[in-house]
Amino acid sequence: MVCIDCREAAEPAGAQVAQMIAERTRQRWSDKAAAFDAGARLEDAYLDATPASAWQQLAHEALSKWRDPELPRSRSGLMICGPTGIGKTWAAFALANAVADLGYGAEIRVASEVELMGPHVATWQLEDRLRRWIDGAVMVLVDDIGVAPRHRDQLQAAWKMLADLISSQPRSMLVVGTSNRQSWSKDAGLTEWVGQQTASRLRSWTSICTTGAVDRRTGDTHENWLRQTGRSQ
């Protein structure tokens, strides 16, 4: 029989160990975010507690749906579109960091489209690569969709595999993508790139949004994008 004093002493020690593990997991995620784009400070991206923009509101809604215990196999997320330099990747990592803050840093998968399904991956290796990448994930983030230099049929087949794997996961998942392709339906849009069937599934899981029209590196405004979205800066 374990004495009461011993049990009471063990409980704080157990809590301390759990806290240490959580802190190390969070730090490993921060290191991973920092390494994804050195100098971009993606590890510091965050969601405002009170959303001040449409994309942040959608991010909070996706996070809430993912956390809802009454929706045990939900799919939610963002497809963040727009021209280069407006903070799409930063916004994607803001949501990822919020997930990591909840203790799930080890279960976030992040890759660029080129890294995940580019021409360096043999066709016969694609399915196994995607399966291993997504295994155990609660969130997948695919950056820069629409640029992988691969034959279109092979690329659409890879995207279908990924969508199938996302659909089959037993847990709720967040699905996040970024792309310079600026819509689902227009010429050279995302549907043309990933294929009709995959686009339909991604659209059902994610909310399309943008982070503005100002290039954060230069301060210039993408006027065409501003007119297209009807946003004012």
Domain map (residue ranges) of the chain: 31-229
Specify whether the CB–CB gap between 182 and 88 falls below 8 A: no
Phi, psi at residue 37, to the nearest 5°?
-145, 90
| H-run or E-run covering 188 | none
Buried b (16+ CB within 10 A) or exposed e, 96-133: bbbbbeeebbebbbbbbbbbbbbeebeeeebeeebeeb
pLDDT at 232: 40
pLDDT tens sequence across 83-120: 999 999 999 999 999 999 999 999 999 999 999 999 99
Pairing of strands 139-145, 75-81: unpaired
pLDDT tens sequence across 68-83: 999 999 999 999 999 9
**CA nearest 171: which of 75, 62, 64, 92?**
75
Give the predicted TM-score (pTM) of the model: 0.90
pLDDT bin (cut points 50, 70, 90) of residue 14 is: confident
> How many other C-beta atoms are found inside a 10 Å radius of the C-beta of residue 232?
6
pLDDT tens sequence across 125-152: 999 999 999 999 999 999 999 999 999 9
Specify whether the CB–CB gap between 203 and 227 falls below 8 A: no
Q: Which long-range contacts (CB under 8 A, 24 or more apart) does 187-192 make?
A: 190/79, 190/81, 190/145, 190/146
pLDDT tens sequence across 21-73: 889 999 999 999 999 999 899 999 999 999 989 999 999 999 999 999 999 99
Predicted confidence (pLDDT) at residue 15 exceeds the cutoff of 90 = no
Specify whether the CB–CB gap between 137 and 163 falls below 8 A: no
Q: Which amino acid is at 219?
A: G
Q: Which CATH number among 3.40.50.2300, 2.60.40.3500, 3.40.50.300, 2.40.30.10 corresponds to the domain 31-229?
A: 3.40.50.300
Can you name the residues that pair with 208 across neighbouring β-strands?
79
Phi, psi at residue 142, to the nearest 5°?
-110, 115
Q: Which amino acid is at 140?
A: V
pLDDT tens sequence across 166-214: 999 999 999 999 999 988 886 679 999 999 999 999 999 999 999 999 9
